[in-house]
Chain A
Amino acid sequence: MSTLVTSAPTASADRPEKVPPARPKNRKPLLHGFLIVMSLLWLFPLLYAVMNSLRSYEYTQENGYLSFGGWTFDNYTTAWERAGFTEKFINTLYVTVPGVILTLFLSSCMGFVLARFSFKLNLTLLGIFLAANLLPQQALLIPLYRMFREIPLPEWMNADGGTLLNSYWALILVNTAFQTGFCTFVLSNYMKTLPKEIYESAMVDGASVLRQYWQLTLPLCRPPLAALATLQVTWIYNEFFWATVLMQTGDKFPITSSLNNLRGQFFTDVNLVAAGSLIVALPPLIVFFILQKQFV
């Protein structure tokens, strides 16, 4: 079987009556033509945004959007100032950093136990976690919203001294709860591939379960943890729904959910919209290009 795999071209050449060798060659230009057209079509909205974000409003108003010229960098500075991006990016940090750390910590604990020990409940637990990832979040909103309104926060946790609603804690907790399922699944699968023997010798040395987790398993899980961390940063950065509904005051909105408010402020100027969009798109795009080799 394996010889057939490596020598496939010769094998097909031996049987010309069944595999006409000329056909793939003829289809190549067609294939590339199709792919080039499609990928340019897909890149177009982004490239168009880049182009218009770099042109002045006056120029495009006068010459139409199909023109070429009027280059300026002002849209970026104006958009940044008007939308208060500094504040919004800081808000995003408040949610994303603790959210990602907590998610990875909890899911690695959970994944460790699921991979290391066999309980009868293992599959049930995994099911509970995975399903949580797929449920439509809007369907859980009403009780959660009402519940958060009832839970008071001590002053040191929230400057307003209010409730869990309208606090970063709510977003951190909700994001963690919804992302833990997927991360647990990935991490426990990875941990299952680690050789059992390392634990055997650790136990002979009298290492506790906690030490095995912290000193053996976690360091070996660096690759999936790094991959998940970047994925989670993108997801929590992009998270829109919970931030929109759980945050009551606009000044607390993280960047993605503040888009909703930006529309009004940019209403007459599409070039500003373009610049604002690209500023918001930049962090996930950077993550994408760094990670691209691992993507598939």
Chain B
Amino acid sequence: MSLESPVATVPPDDADAPHAQRRRKANRSKSVSARLSRGDRIAVTLMVAVPTLLVLWLVWLPGILSVVLSFTRWEGIGGVDTIEWIATENYTNIFTIYPPFRPAVTHNLIWLAVLFLIPTPLGVFLAVLLDKELKGGRFYQTAFFIPIVLSLALVGFMWQLIYSRDQGLINDITGGTTDWYGDQDVNLWAVLVATCWKQTGYVMLLYLAGLKAVDPSLREAASIDGASETQSFFRVVFPVMRPINVIVLVITFIEALRAFEIVWVVNKGRNGLELISTLVTNNIVGEASRIGFGSALATIMLAISSVFVVMYLRIALKEEQR
């Protein structure tokens, strides 16, 4: 019973906040705009406009154009007037007569499942273990954090030492002849192991930061009430960490969707390593320039990611409003 009380007291506080905030905001903005001189107004406008325009130009405009172009056929060689409007034909083609699409989606889903089942829980678990003051805690943390600062491209490159057919560690020990990066039955899994090596530390970092922010008295109260450590984590800490939990979840989904680098380093996303992201890229920088078709693939990515972006924003901006 008493375990739930600290959590239950949160909502009433919340309900009050919007009113107070609106009042405060109204007061502030009125006094501010009244006091701004003309020069100040120009300065403020520029300070907002330049970064905003840059982001709108290089992020939002391409996003919108991807959606628009996805309904067209365009080789991209001629001018804009050579664009041909073909409604949803690109999408029909993707789903019916584009062989790499199905494997790519399957690989992205496997990617998601693996991230979700291994590095995410493992990272959370390690964060919980290392959150306490432990002897040697710094050493353990360092071991898991190091891969985070390396790019996935470098990680993929480096793991050749382990996966190479003729000189790799695995084949050296087992005497096997598997080409771990080349054989399409195993290369996805090989790449995923290397990805997990990095992702675990990343999740752990996020979760450790979240755990540090949890009021220690909550856990103390739980342990005094006789909860074991496991109980106090699942019944007290975990529910309080809801924002971080959602963010970790969102990041797991987004990382699975935009996985790219490591696969590109290995073989440019062919031969068992197709991903939606590599299909998009191969449609513009590869030998074929099929702008409309590639954009339709891009739009599918955008549609999936927008769900998680919205989830993330709701959390981040709610914190912001407080």
B284 on interface, CB distance cutoff 8 Å: yes
Our count of residue pairs bridging A and B at CB distance below 8 angstroms stands at 306
How far, in whole Å, are A144 and B153 apart by their CA atoms in the complex?
A: 22
B48 on interface, CB distance cutoff 8 Å: yes
Residues 138-184 of A contacting B (Cβ, < 8 Å): 138-147, 173-174, 176-178, 180-181, 184
Residues 268-294 of A contacting B (Cβ, < 8 Å): 268-270, 273-274, 276-277, 280-281, 284-285, 287-288, 292
For residue B321, which residue of chain A has the nearest CB? A123
Q: Assess the A109–B29 pair: CB atoms within 8 A.
A: no
Q: Assess the A31–B129 pair: CB atoms within 8 A.
A: yes
Q: Assess the B316–A262 pair: CB atoms within 8 A.
A: no
Interfacial chain A residues near B209, Cβ < 8 Å: 296
The tally of residues in A whose CB lies under 8 Å from a CB in B reads 106
Interfacial chain A residues near B176, Cβ < 8 Å: none
Q: Assess the A126–B50 pair: CB atoms within 8 A.
A: no
For residue B302, which residue of chain A has the nearest CB? A139
Interface SS of A by simple majority: helix
A25 on interface, CB distance cutoff 8 Å: no
Residues 141-167 of B contacting A (Cβ, < 8 Å): 141-147, 149-154, 157-162, 164, 166-167
Q: Assess the A48–B169 pair: CB atoms within 8 A.
A: yes
Q: Assess the B29–A142 pair: CB atoms within 8 A.
A: no
What's the least CB distance linking A140 to chain B, in Å? 4
For residue A213, which residue of chain B has the nearest CB? B47
Interfacial chain A residues near B217, Cβ < 8 Å: 1-2, 4-5
- Give B residues with C-beta under 8 Å from A: 25, 28-29, 32, 35-37, 39-40, 43-44, 47-48, 50-52, 54-63, 65-66, 69, 76, 126, 129-130, 134-136, 139-147, 149-154, 157-162, 164, 166-169, 172-173, 197, 200-201, 205, 208-209, 212, 216-217, 220-221, 223-226, 250, 254, 257-258, 260-261, 264-265, 276-278, 280-281, 283-285, 291, 294-295, 298-299, 301-302, 305, 308-309, 312-313, 316-317, 320-321
Sample of 29 A–B contacts (CB below 8 Å): A4-B217, A19-B223, A19-B224, A31-B129, A38-B144, A39-B144, A46-B146, A65-B167, A110-B51, A118-B32, A127-B313, A136-B254, A139-B299, A140-B59, A142-B62, A143-B66, A144-B58, A145-B285, A146-B284, A173-B58, A177-B58, A178-B59, A181-B55, A268-B167, A273-B164, A274-B158, A276-B157, A284-B151, A292-B142
Minimum-distance CB pairs A-B, first 3 = A39-B143, A18-B226, A238-B151
